[in-house]
Amino acid sequence: MKKLIEFKGMKDNKIIKNFLRVFTGTGLAQIVSIIASIILARIYSPDDFGKLALMVTVVSLCSMVATFKYDAAITVAKKRKEIFKLVITSTFFVFLTFLITLVIIITFSDFFMKRLNVDLFFLLLVPLGILMVGLIQVFTSSNTRFKNYKLTSNTTVSQSFITAISQTILGLLFYLSSGLIIGQLIGQIYKVFKLIKNQSYYFSATLYKKYISLKVIINTTKEYKDYPLKLGPATILSGVSNNIIILFLGIFFSSNIVGFYAMGQKLIRIPSAVLGTALRQIYFQEGAAIYRKNPIKLLGFTRKIFVILSIAAIVPSLILFFLSEQIFYLLFGEEWILSGTISSILSVYLYFQFVSSPLISTFTILQKQKLHFYWELFRLALLLGGVVIGGLNGNIVYFSWIITFTLSFSYLLLIAMVFWVLRSNDN
């Protein structure tokens, strides 16, 4: 009875309110993404989706350290001037990464075109994608620090609309096979401008005049050097682990198969991609605040978040596991049934990924980045073995099951490690 009253009392808790705000706001984004996928699957070929997946993979790999992880410090900074200095420093490194990537691509364009089997236009869009993703990371962290969850949620919804409309128009009216990639960039550019526009409300003109200088950037870089040193290695491992599947698919299978896999993964990752990231930001912000005030309460807070996510994800996961093939047949047509089969298999590991995604921030809150690094290293080793074994088999269904078993085990291990660390911290 006590637990029931306690759970009922959580309705007034600001954490639950933030969760419900994100869930409600991003629900529309999920609907938009699903409807857009149904339309786009009839405009673009699996090969086009395969190229989009390759673009997303390359951009993700390059942008995972674009901010040099100084954006992570934004969320926990206490003073407004410190937040501003970190925003400026993170933005500087994003532009630096953009310029370095652009020079490398122009210099070695022939090599990349042959290895990736893409044209120069595709390659030149990569630095722009890195720039947009990096800026989104910076200004999402800034808005999260000021607890402006409504803006980030609404911007995600509107970005989904802009992306879907752009991709549809480019495919239907201009017959561009690269319309998926260009449309995604348009959506990202829109989101960047929306997030930056809101910053003027928090930062005065005095801050701009006083702290935008190379000297400030150098001093901030030195002051917060632990973030790239401690978070950087784990971030690189995480990025490689998250993107290695598509890269190996491109090696062992045709671009058509990459497209089928990408579509199957995309549909079931919509809740995780939209809600998971937002919930992780909320958990990190609120968890850090709780830990600063009363470290012992962090275990109870984490347990509540874990229980809520575990229960919320059960029904959607079961539906996807048993009905994905039928759903893909009805929505996308017979051509995409293979994506439904892949989606059904991957739904198993995505359940554990969704549940554990916010909890991974616990390592940063408790300054246990070394444990996070060890877990990322273990996951990458498992995944490397899995993709090679699955790829050599030559069967995409077998490949998908290998990936699911490998990642499910790694996320279960992550959950166990998080609660072990929290209990050890209490003791």
Q: pLDDT tens digits for 54-92? A: 899 989 988 888 999 999 899 888 888 898 899 999 999
| Average of per-residue pLDDT across 17-24 | 59
Provide φ and ψ at 181, rounded to 5°: -70, -45
Enter the pTM of the model. 0.78
Residue 235's pLDDT is what?
79
| Average of per-residue pLDDT across 281-293 | 85
**Mean per-residue pLDDT over the chain, rounded:** 86
State the Cα–Cα distance between residues 350 and 325, nearest whole angstrom: 17
What does the chain come to in residues?
427
Q: Measured in whole angstroms, how far is the alpha carbon of residue 404 from the centre of its chain?
A: 19
What lies within 8 Å, CB to CB, of 413 at 6+ separation is: 375, 378
- 230 — pLDDT class (breaks 50, 70, 90): confident
State the Cα–Cα distance between residues 319 and 115, nearest whole angstrom: 39
| Average of per-residue pLDDT across 359-364 | 90
Say yes or no to pLDDT of 1 above 70: no
Say yes or no to pLDDT of 232 above 90: no
State the Cα–Cα distance between residues 48 and 171, nearest whole angstrom: 11
Highest mean pLDDT pick, 130-134, 250-254, 375-379:
130-134
Q: What percent of the chain has pLDDT over 70?
A: 88
Q: What percent of the chain has pLDDT over 90?
A: 50
Q: What does the CA dihedral 244, 247, 250, 253 come to, rounded to 10 degrees?
A: -10
| Residue 55 near residue 181, CB atoms below 8 Å | yes
Say yes or no to pLDDT of 322 above 60: yes
- 139 — pLDDT class (breaks 50, 70, 90): very high
Residue 26's pLDDT is what?
60
- 220 — pLDDT class (breaks 50, 70, 90): very high
| Average of per-residue pLDDT across 317-341 | 93
Region at 69 (left for phi over 0; alpha for psi -120 to 50; beta for the rest): left
Residue 241's pLDDT is what?
84
Contacts of residues 303-309 at CB distance under 8 Å and 24 or more positions apart, as own/partner, are: 303/419, 304/10, 304/15, 305/15, 305/279, 305/358, 305/359, 306/355, 306/359, 306/415, 308/19, 309/279, 309/354, 309/355, 309/358
State both tokens at 300: 């109870």
| Average of per-residue pLDDT across 201-215 | 73
Residue ranges per domain, the chain? Answer: 29-224, 225-427
State both tokens at 407: 């990642």
Residue 373's pLDDT is what?
87
User: Taking Cα atoms as reference points, which of 171, 168, 150 lies closest to residue 160?
Assistant: 168
